[in-house]
Structure 1
Amino acid sequence: MKALIVLFNCILLTIGQVSGPILVRIYFLHGGKRKWLTSWLLTAGCPLLILPITISFAKNRSKSSLPKFLVPPRLIASSAFLGFLLGIDSYLYTFGMSYLPVSVSSLLGSIQLAFTSIFAYFIVKHKFTHYSINAVVLITFGSAILGLHMNGDRPNGESNANYTLGFFMTIGGAALHGFIMPALEYAHKKAQVTLTFNLFLQVLLLISMFATMFCTIPMIINKDFQVIPKEAAEFELGPMKYYMILALAGVALQCMMIGSTGVIFSSSSLFGGIVTSLLVPVQQIFSVICLSEGFSGEKGMALAMCLWGFASYVYGEYKLNHKQPDIKHESEHEEV
């Protein structure tokens, strides 16, 4: 059952991480300029979570008169803090996307996995095996190859200043996201509560709400909401496709949020970082199809290294599960 939950979250993460950045990039390529708007889209779809939370709550409420799905105050405070950090991270990432091609996700993937590994070691005391170390090294180097080749995909007419700024903003976003993932795992462990599916959705809703609030304030200050109709009218692909791209991006990015958080809760932050990095070369394939970006030999090599690293991690987890008793394994990876 747990394996199916992890698999389901990985599928959501794949859908969101592959399609979300491509849709955001299409928005910028065809006349979109509102960076806070695209940052806001990452979590603006959070109201969609209210429906499954309500259904689950009503179902369990009928079985008992006691409310079992109230988020502990400690976890609410952690969710607020992580939500604000996620809002900052979203802006850093979308700022980089406005000046860099989708290939920038290669750099994000390689740096993010390195930071996730470091923070997972110090924050949640994650124990590394030689299989997981091998996976981190292979995927980091595979994604770094894409990052080194990224300059060859520089958009025509992009200034050196904007390109460099986007480059460093992306590194900052990768480092911050690398901290958020193990911090979320740590917050759950310190709350000392049994994680249910409903509680997971409530925590995700809280984090998304605070991140959305953070991005909404500068949108109001910059009058982004008032500019949307004008920007839609001037969009190169037409107003209808403008709104369609924004709506689909919001849904895709929400899938990425649910999948990313679900993988952390149902497995570990390190596994979440590895899956995220594994999807980097997959993004490259779809960027070639959707955005006509080139697919070089370096990208093929990176794909092979990332797949090799992911296989190493999965095999290591398989051996670990067969060596350790189930009780000990469950103490390290809380069940959803």
Structure 2
Amino acid sequence: MDSIKRKYLMLFNSVLLAIGATGGPLLLRLYFVRGGKRIWLSSALGSVGWPILILPLSLSYIFKRGGGGENGRVKFFTITLPLIIFSAFIGLLLGLNDYLYSHGVSLLPVSTSTLIMSTHLAFTAGFAFVLVKQKFTPYSTNAVVLLTVGAVLLGLHSNGDKPINQSNRDYYFGFFLTVGASVISGLLFPIVTAVVASLFCVVGMITNNDFKAIPRESKEYELGEVKYYLVLEAIAIMWQIYFVGTAGVIFCSTSLLAGIITAVILPVTEILSVVFYHESFKSEKGIALFLSFWGLISYLYGDYRENMKLKKAQKQSLALERDENLPPLTNLQ
């Protein structure tokens, strides 16, 4: 893939990531604030929407087949047994992450839960360094520090957002559940399978009798029965958009950049939660917004400088090879 196509693909996936990271938490909170109470159901929505990806995957297969592929053939299945086992392990982690996050969102405001999830950037950076030997520059390190400080700054005053009539026990229980989801999310980014994750949550739904409770809950939903199912569908679609965007950014760049983009979207989600759910927006959130964008600019500038150095080194290498291939000069008699 040439650099121009990669840049457009990177931009496209970044937009998908931003839409999913913003819309997912807001819609999930809408489910809970309007009468939804099923934790396992909301957890399953994080991965159960995977069938919608069959269409783009099928189109990709058709285009590759039309292009001929290697020796005029394109394999229908390219996955190997070790990859299946590894994907199943990732799926279990994703299912656990979905449950912890959904349970946390059911107990916390959007602004608080998204704030806690933004700390996954620090975990992503750590796991990326250990697992994939991620190279850190002063600019990327600065970006991680700025974004993490912004999240911590918000966290110092997040208790003021505690929902009315909610006990401190439930609030802090939701807090630690969301922290657990943040840790798992930080691990998933560097090692980036939805079927196993869906089964994990569906088993929980069966155990908790969620399938029997869905019709009753839909009739009691504040927005109406039809909108109840529309909200569930929208949540499932939004999370698939998020996961596709995340995988795309990791493919085009690094897991660290995917974490940085997700952290930068945090203040946007904060602002939208103020608009739609009338949550408080204090000065600390404004400062966190500034730090987030500063961190993103720092990372992008550092990436730009690294690319310029790489291009310069490549030009020097080509020039050296060209000089070595020139015929030796002979003295004219």
* TM surpasses 0.5: yes
**Normalising by structure 1, what TM-score?**
0.88
Work out the CA distance in 1 between the residues paired with 2:313 and 2:62: 32
Work out the CA distance in 2 between the residues paired with 1:69 and 1:321: 36
Task: Give 2:324's aligned residue.
Answer: none
Task: Give 1:12's aligned residue.
Answer: 16
Q: Is the 8 A contact 1:132 1:316 kept in 2?
A: yes
Q: Equivalences for 1:175-190 in 2 at 5 Å? A: 175-184=183-192
Work out the CA distance in 1 between the residues paired with 2:146 and 2:238: 28
Task: Give 1:31's aligned residue.
Answer: 35
Task: Give 2:82's aligned residue.
Answer: 74
Partner-residue secondary structure (3-state), 2:134: coil
Task: Give 2:166's aligned residue.
Answer: 158
CA radius of gyration, larger in: 2
Partner-residue secondary structure (3-state), 1:237: coil
Task: Give 1:40's aligned residue.
Answer: 44
Deviation (angstroms), 1:145 = 1.4
Work out the CA distance in 2 between the residues paired with 1:32 and 1:252: 18
Partner-residue secondary structure (3-state), 2:281: coil
Give the counterpart of 1:56 among 35, 60, 69. Answer: 60
Partner-residue secondary structure (3-state), 1:319: helix
Task: Give 1:98's aligned residue.
Answer: 106
Task: Give 2:213's aligned residue.
Answer: 227
Work out the CA distance in 2 between the residues paired with 1:261 and 1:221: 31
Deviation (angstroms), 1:231 = 0.2
Work out the CA distance in 1 between the residues paired with 2:44 and 2:105: 14
Work out the CA distance in 2 between the residues paired with 1:326 and 1:79: 39
Work out the CA distance in 2 between the residues paired with 1:326 and 1:149: 47
Task: Give 2:203's aligned residue.
Answer: 217
Q: Is the 8 A contact 1:103 1:146 kept in 2?
A: no
Task: Give 2:97's aligned residue.
Answer: 89
Give the counterpart of 1:251 among 237, 249, 253. Answer: 237
Q: Is the 8 A contact 2:274 2:280 kept in 1?
A: yes
- For residues 45 and 4 of structure 1, do their structure 2 counterparts lie closer, same or farther at Cα, with a shift above 3 Å needed? same
Task: Give 2:327's aligned residue.
Answer: none
Work out the CA distance in 1 between the residues paired with 2:76 and 2:139: 39
- For residues 101 and 54 of structure 1, do their structure 2 counterparts lie closer, same or farther at Cα, with a shift above 3 Å needed? same
Deviation (angstroms), 1:27 = 0.9
* 2:296 counterpart of 1:292: no
Task: Give 1:273's aligned residue.
Answer: 259
Q: Deviations over 1:89-143 (max 9, x none)?
A: 1111111000000012343244211111111111100110000000000010112
Q: Please list every run of 5 or more consecutive structure 2 residues that lacks an aligned counterpart in the other structure.
A: 315-333
Partner-residue secondary structure (3-state), 1:215: helix
Work out the CA distance in 1 between the residues paired with 2:182 and 2:17: 17
Q: Please list every run of 5 or more consecutive structure 1 residues that lacks an aligned counterpart in the other structure.
A: 185-206, 329-336
- For residues 26 and 320 of structure 1, do their structure 2 counterparts lie closer, same or farther at Cα, with a shift above 3 Å needed? same
Matched to 1:82, the amino acid is I
Aligned positions, number: 306
Matched to 1:139, the amino acid is L
Partner-residue secondary structure (3-state), 1:28: helix
Task: Give 1:316's aligned residue.
Answer: 302
Work out the CA distance in 2 between the residues paired with 1:179 and 1:298: 28
- For residues 236 and 322 of structure 1, do their structure 2 counterparts lie closer, same or farther at Cα, with a shift above 3 Å needed? same
- For residues 23 and 327 of structure 1, do their structure 2 counterparts lie closer, same or farther at Cα, with a shift above 3 Å needed? farther
Q: Is the 8 A contact 1:37 1:219 kept in 2?
A: yes
Give RMSD over aligned pairs.
Answer: 1.6
Matched to 2:220, the amino acid is E
Matched to 2:87, the amino acid is S
Q: Is the 8 A contact 2:36 2:217 kept in 1?
A: yes
Deviation (angstroms), 1:86 = 0.4
